[in-house]
């Protein structure tokens, strides 16, 4: 439950971030754009995996679809940015819906679902890299952003939207059904929960949001190719950030995305030769030590701090 104080603090943070670009360096704006992207991706992945228990290792598929739909719309079809974003959203939503009909209606095992999504991401990369109308492996050059602040505010709004949607869904009738699916899908179905519809809805919403992030990044980068759009690192980063912060929680993906972004930047600037190795070790240690992520770790520390000193009180 989000307290009134937390709500006001969250609103104040969003307002602060909205006015922050005034007078700050372009480096800070670019760094915050990367953080907003990380929060949006981790939160979008959490909207599906954290509420249904179905781990997707190939969610970057929707990132690539959204990026290419936007690029093709701008470059090949000559549409404007707004219509291109709409096409990217529709394209990823339709793809997620079709995949959902195939994968989520057949009672596929969770482990197989993760592997299938991973394979589909690689298939999409190969298909795009061999399609001339999509630029093949050379990719597509997109008209540049008029101002990087467009990406800043778009991704900030997307990150806020993802967090808000998770909060509202968890408090809705959908939320109770999703909690039942997460606990025991078969038992939930027996008790009357429409498990397929709920899983499909969360899959489509999650995929569409990831696709919008991909569309914005294609415009921000002003270039896209299949190896960037369908890079497995995009999919894995979503998973690791959500797990790092706490899967299935409101604040977990946010904390995981921010912590990982800060840690990556620090290691990359101080120990560029070994930053990837050190970062990977730290992530593995935290996950093994505290599987619930930062959220669970914070809860354990809070309980220890609030726990009364029984030994001290009995000796007095």
| Rounded Cα gap, residues 103 and 106, in angstroms | 6
The number of residues in the chain equals: 316
Q: For all residues of the chain together, what is the average pLDDT?
A: 86
pLDDT at 264: 81
φ, ψ (nearest 5 deg) of residue 250: -70, -45
pLDDT at 60: 92
pLDDT at 286: 67
pLDDT (tens digit per residue) in 4-40: 788 888 889 899 999 988 888 888 999 999 999 999 9
pLDDT at 184: 85
Chain center to CA of 234 = 9
Q: What is the mean pLDDT of residues 288-304?
A: 64
pLDDT (tens digit per residue) in 157-213: 999 999 999 999 998 888 899 998 888 888 888 888 888 999 999 999 999 999 999
Q: How confident is the model at residue 121 (pLDDT cuts 50, 70, 90)?
A: very high
pLDDT at 191: 87
Helix (H, G, I), strand (E, B) or coil at 309: coil
| Rounded Cα gap, residues 69 and 88, in angstroms | 5
| HSE-up of residue 242 (Cα within 13 Å, Cβ side) | 28
- Where do runs of H (alpha helix) occur along the chain? 4-19, 26-52, 60-75, 81-103, 110-129, 148-170, 173-183, 185-190, 195-221, 226-229, 232-245, 252-270, 275-289, 293-306, 310-315
Can you give the pTM of this predicted structure? 0.88
Query: Which residues, at least 6 apart from 55, have a Cβ–Cβ distance to it below 8 Å?
Result: 49, 110, 113, 114, 239
pLDDT at 185: 85
pLDDT (tens digit per residue) in 59-112: 999 999 999 999 999 999 999 999 999 999 999 999 999 999 988 887 677 778
pLDDT at 158: 96
Percent of the chain with pLDDT over 90: 47
- Dihedral over Cα of 28, 31, 36, 42: its sign: negative
């Amino acid at each position: 439950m989000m307290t009134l104080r937390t709500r006001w603090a969250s609103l104040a943070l969003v307002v602060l971030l909205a006015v922050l670009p005034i007078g700050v360096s372009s480096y800070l704006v670019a760094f915050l754009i990367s953080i907003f992207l990380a929060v949006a991706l981790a939160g979008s992945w959490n909207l599906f995996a954290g509420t249904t228990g179905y781990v997707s290792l190939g969610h970057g598929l929707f990132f690539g679809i959204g990026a290419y739909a936007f690029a093709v719309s701008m470059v090949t079809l000559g549409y404007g940015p707004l219509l291109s974003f709409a096409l990217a959203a529709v394209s990823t939503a339709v793809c997620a819906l079709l995949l959902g009909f195939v994968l989520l209606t057949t009672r596929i095992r969770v482990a197989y679902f993760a592997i299938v999504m991973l394979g589909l991401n690689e298939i999409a990369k190969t298909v795009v890299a061999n399609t001339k109308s999509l630029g093949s492996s050379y990719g597509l050059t997109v008209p540049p952003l008029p101002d990087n602040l467009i990406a800043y505010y778009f991704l900030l709004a997307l990150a806020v939207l993802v967090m808000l949607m998770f909060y509202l869904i968890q408090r809705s009738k959908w939320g109770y059904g999703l909690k039942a699916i997460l606990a025991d899908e078969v038992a939930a179905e027996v008790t009357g929960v429409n498990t397929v519809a709920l899983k499909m809805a969360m899959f489509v919403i999650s995929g569409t949001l990831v696709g919008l992030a991909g569309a914005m990044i294609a415009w921000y980068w002003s270039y896209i190719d299949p190896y960037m759009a369908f890079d497995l690192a995009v999919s894995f980063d979503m998973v690791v950030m959500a797990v790092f912060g706490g899967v299935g929680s409101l604040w977990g993906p946010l904390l995981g995305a921010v912590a990982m972004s800060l840690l990556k930047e620090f290691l990359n600037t101080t120990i560029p030769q070994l930053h990837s190795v050190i970062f990977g070790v730290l992530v593995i240690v935290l996950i093994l030590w505290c599987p619930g992520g930062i959220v669970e770790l914070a809860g354990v520390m809070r309980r220890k701090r609030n726990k009364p000193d029984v030994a001290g009180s009995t000796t007095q």
